[in-house]
Amino acid sequence: MNKKICVYAIAKNEIKFIDRWYDSVKEADYVCVLDTGSDDGSYEKFQQLGIITKQKKYKNFRFDEARNDSMKLIPDDAEICVCVDIDEFFDPGWAKILKNNWGENTKRARYRYTWNFNADGSEGVVFMSDKIHKNKYFIWTHPVHEILTPIDQNLDYEIIDLPQIQLNHKADINKSRSSYLPLLELSVREHPEDDRNVHYLGREYMYHKQYDKAIETLTRHLSLPTAVWDIERCASLRYIAACFGAKGDKKRQEEYLIRAILEADYVREPYYELAVFYYGNDDFLKSAFTFNEMLKINQRELNYMSSPACWGSSPYDYLSMCYYELKDYKKALNFVNKAIELNKNDERLISNRDYFLKQLYKN
């Protein structure tokens, strides 16, 4: 078993990220890039680095087609294929870990993926991703939010989990994602019963402030017989709640947030959003109760819907202010101190602590 690794990617105008990306992926035996029409020197840079590269421009771009075309560059003797976008980069040592753990029956591998980072450099959204696969066994499907799909639908294969492999994502925040909505609409037209893309489309309508369309689409997601993942169903309910909130319907917003908790009561996100809802409506007792219930959840699920806000200083900050409003200054001080432990340089938190101390001694 040769266990040769090929990293492959698609790219357009990524010149600012190429050096960082290449330094992290050159542990592989081969590196391939399909350039989809760069005019910033990216294509020439790939050539200079000795990367296996080709340029192809698309009249009607879709991610699955481009990724499938990029796989045509992979040498036949590569056993393990690793799809890594140019704005991503591995921690060192990943290739050795992958080779040491890849077995005769392995067809896929999952790894730890940090999708974004907070302003202070700490991790934001973290989940296990799965864009490592055996050569010639998979194709990409769906115009956007594309996924690896077995060529043989009856393929029975082993997936290994390698959380010791760390991939990081630091994107260009100025890059447009305007193509996502029409591509998601196309994807749902092509596969109207695909619950995953119906969920994504509803979320995208929410991002575009098309709240009625979002509510309709997310409600349809919840009705699909294949929509059984409780965390994703919980997210659809949370997004519906957010849409009703944006429309000014607080009653329905609260209703859907409670339904979201009932759907997946072991994740923090719906509790957090309901507690913030109560806080914003000056119901500090309900807000404090809901935040305290949330804090009983100690295990963070590694999925793309996990919100870093639920695991940082924010819940303790809110709780300190709830207890201040309830005139329980001792608890207010306790929780603001916990918030400061997680966010040591926040001047507002420090100022709040000093103020709560004064109120405590005054009483």
Question: 124, 152, 154, 126: which is closest to 139 by C-alpha?
Answer: 152
CATH number at residue 25: 3.90.550.10
**What is residue 146's predicted lDDT score, i.e. its pLDDT?**
96
Query: Do residues 245 and 115 both lie within one domain?
Result: no
CATH number at residue 263: 1.25.40.10
Quick check: is 238 in a domain?
yes
Query: Do residues 237 and 312 both lie within one domain?
Result: yes
Q: What gap in Å lies between CA 150 and CA 137, rounded to an integer? A: 6
- Lowest mean pLDDT of 168-182, 209-223, 312-326, name the range: 168-182
Query: Do residues 52 and 26 both lie within one domain?
Result: yes
Helix (H, G, I), strand (E, B) or coil at 90: strand
Query: Do residues 197 and 165 both lie within one domain?
Result: no
Query: Do residues 117 and 227 both lie within one domain?
Result: no
Quick check: is 175 in a domain?
no
Quick check: is 145 in a domain?
yes
Query: Do residues 161 and 190 both lie within one domain?
Result: no
Q: Residue 130: which domain range? A: 5-169
Residue 121 predicted with pLDDT over 90: no
Query: Do residues 320 and 269 both lie within one domain?
Result: yes
Q: Which one of 107, 141, 169 terminates a domain?
A: 169
Mean pLDDT estimate for the chain? 95
Using DSSP bridges, classify how beta strands 80-83 and 126-134 pair: parallel, antiparallel or unpaired.
antiparallel
Q: Which one of 120, 139, 169 terminates a domain?
A: 169
pLDDT band per the 50, 70, 90 thresholds, residue 362 = confident
Q: How far is CA 118 from CA 86, 125, 205, 334, in A?
A: 20, 9, 25, 25
Residue 232 predicted with pLDDT over 80: yes
pLDDT, one tens digit per residue, over 257-298 is 999 999 999 999 999 999 999 999 999 999 999 999 999 999
Quick check: is 174 in a domain?
no
Domain count, the chain: 2
Q: What gap in Å lies between CA 341 and CA 30, rounded to an integer? A: 45
DSSP 91: P
Query: Do residues 111 and 195 both lie within one domain?
Result: no
Query: Do residues 88 and 208 both lie within one domain?
Result: no
Q: Which one of 169, 204, 227 terminates a domain?
A: 169
Query: Do residues 125 and 215 both lie within one domain?
Result: no
pLDDT band per the 50, 70, 90 thresholds, residue 226 = very high
Place of tokens 């303790």: 316
**What is residue 119's predicted lDDT score, i.e. its pLDDT?**
80
Residue 240 predicted with pLDDT over 80: yes
Query: Do residues 55 and 11 both lie within one domain?
Result: yes
Determine how many CB atoms are found less than 10 A away from the CB of residue 109.
23
pLDDT band per the 50, 70, 90 thresholds, residue 363 = low
Question: 94, 88, 162, 98: which is closest to 128 by C-alpha?
Answer: 162
pLDDT band per the 50, 70, 90 thresholds, residue 301 = confident
Determine how many CB atoms are found less than 10 A away from the CB of residue 93.
12
Quick check: is 94 in a domain?
yes
**What is residue 1's predicted lDDT score, i.e. its pLDDT?**
58
pLDDT, one tens digit per residue, over 190-224 is 999 999 999 999 999 999 999 999 999 999 999 99
* Mean pLDDT, range 50-58, rounded to an integer: 97
Residue 342 predicted with pLDDT over 90: yes
Query: Do residues 195 and 275 both lie within one domain?
Result: yes
* Mean pLDDT, range 109-121, rounded to an integer: 91
pLDDT band per the 50, 70, 90 thresholds, residue 58 = very high
